Structures are given as C-alpha cells and as structure tokens.
Amino acid sequence: MKRHHPSPEVLMSYAAGSLPEAPSLLVATHLAICPECRVRAGELDALGGAMLENLSPTKMEADAFDRVMARLDEPEPPRAPPPPADPVLPAPLRAYVGRGFDAIAWKKLGRGVEEYRLPIPDADSYMTRLLRVADDREIPTHGHDGDELTLVLAGGFRDGEDSYVRGDVASADPTVSHSPVADKGGECICLVVTEGKLRFSGLFGPLLTYFRG
C-alpha cells in the first residue's frame, strides 16, 4: 500500500529550524514512526551542517573563550527522563500530552467525533489537536485558510482515492475541501495541525464555526 509522508518542503523547513512548533511536533511524531523520513531528515541536517561550514567565521568577544572554559565544570542540568511508553502516542507527542492516551480528557464534538486540543503557545496561528473519530464516521467537511497536516496514530481513514493508516501524513492546502471518512472496524485517532482558522461548510458549518471561534 502507498505510504504518505510529509512533503519535502515541510521536512526541509523542519531541518532548517524554520518550521513553527505545532507542525514541527507533527513532523517529529511522524519521524518516530517512519524510518525512511528519519534518513531524509538526517540528509537535510547534513545540508545545514554544510551551510554552517560555509559561513565565514565571525569575531568572538575577547572574553568569550574564558567564559566557556570557566563553565565546563558546572553541574549539568538534569536531563528529563523519557515519559513512559504508550502504544498510541510516540515520545515527541507524549511529551506534549503529558499523560497516557487512556487518560486524555476528550471533548465531544458530536457526530462520532471527539477532540483534545494540545497546549502549544502559538495557538493564534495554529490549531493543534487530537481527533478521535468513531468507525465509519465522517469528519465534518471543511476548508481552511492555511495548510493542514493530519498524522494517523491509530486506525485509518479514506479521503477520496487515498487511504491512510498509522504513520501516514495527509497534507491539504487551502484549495482543498475534503471529507475524510474513518475506516470501518475501529476508531481513528489523528494528530491534526491546522494553520489559520477552519471554515466549516455544509449544514452544520456556520454553527460549528460559531462554537469553535
């Protein structure tokens, strides 16, 4: 089956360090599941390394060297222990959710859909949430003002001709209005990062937009 990865330009922005935190979280979570993209990300890190080597060295402050040497024996800040393993949430995502999958406080949106919004500071430009969709239910039709990335964590969904399972990333730009449907035989859990605001269409669209705004 065809696998779906983040686009090259998203991976490149992640490696460059210019991708904002919310989509970076989705990319890091995908990397934990996708060995192929880990190799690609390593190559793009190497591009950053080559660019660093190409920069003309700049002058350091006169005392900079002494100040670093004086700090070498400082006690190290403790390294955070990795959060306990979870079958649904890979480590990068678990660090944000702060608890296991089973302890998530879901909020019902109706029509078989529940969500959990992740606390990410740049909430003005991105909405970051976990969606839990009951089997064979449709995620309300919507368009968006910016790009939307969806990473499947459990179950799967179909969107037109394409089908997505754990680890797959669906990318939608503002021109796409789509209506993904969860697969039969189990619920579908996704991490969804949406740039800008959602525009719901259809019968409940204006109402949903009102409640979410």
Partner 1 sequence: MQRPDSRPVEGARELDELVLKVGRSRDREAFISLYKHFAPRVKAYLLRLGADDATAEEATQETMLSLWRRADSFDPSQAGAGTWVFTIARNRRIDLIRRERRPEADESAAENIPDPAEPADQAIAAAERDKRVRVALEVLPREQAALIEMAYYQDLTQTAIAAKTGLPLGTVKSRFRLAFARLRRALEGDPS
Side chain identity at 69, as an amino acid letter? M
- Residue 76 vs 102, nearer CB to partner 1: 76
Site of interaction with partner 1 (CB under 8 A): 7-9, 11-13, 16-21, 24-25, 27-29, 31-36, 38-39, 42-61, 64-65, 67-69, 71-72, 74, 76, 82, 85, 90-92, 95-96, 121-122, 146, 167
| Shortest separation between residue 204's beta carbon and partner 1, angstroms | 29
| Shortest separation between residue 194's beta carbon and partner 1, angstroms | 14
- Residue 128 vs 139, nearer CB to partner 1: 128
Tokens 């700090």 belong to 71
- Residue 36 vs 110, nearer CB to partner 1: 36
Q: What angle do CA 208, 104, 148 make, to 5 degrees?
A: 45
For 9, other C-beta atoms within 10 Å of its C-beta total 10
- Residue 11 vs 149, nearer CB to partner 1: 11
| Shortest separation between residue 53's beta carbon and partner 1, angstroms | 5
- Residue 113 vs 164, nearer CB to partner 1: 164
SS3 12: helix
Please tell me the distance from the alpha carbon of residue 72 to that of residue 206, in angstroms, as a whole number.
59
**Extended beta strands in 7-141, E state:** 107-110, 113-117, 126-133
Please tell me the distance from the alpha carbon of residue 29 to that of residue 150, in angstroms, as a whole number.
11
- Residue 68 vs 203, nearer CB to partner 1: 68
Question: For the sheet containing 162-165, what is the strand order?
Answer: 162-165, 156-159, 181-182
Side chain identity at 190, as an amino acid letter? C
| Shortest separation between residue 110's beta carbon and partner 1, angstroms | 30
| Shortest separation between residue 69's beta carbon and partner 1, angstroms | 8
| Shortest separation between residue 203's beta carbon and partner 1, angstroms | 31
SS3 70: helix
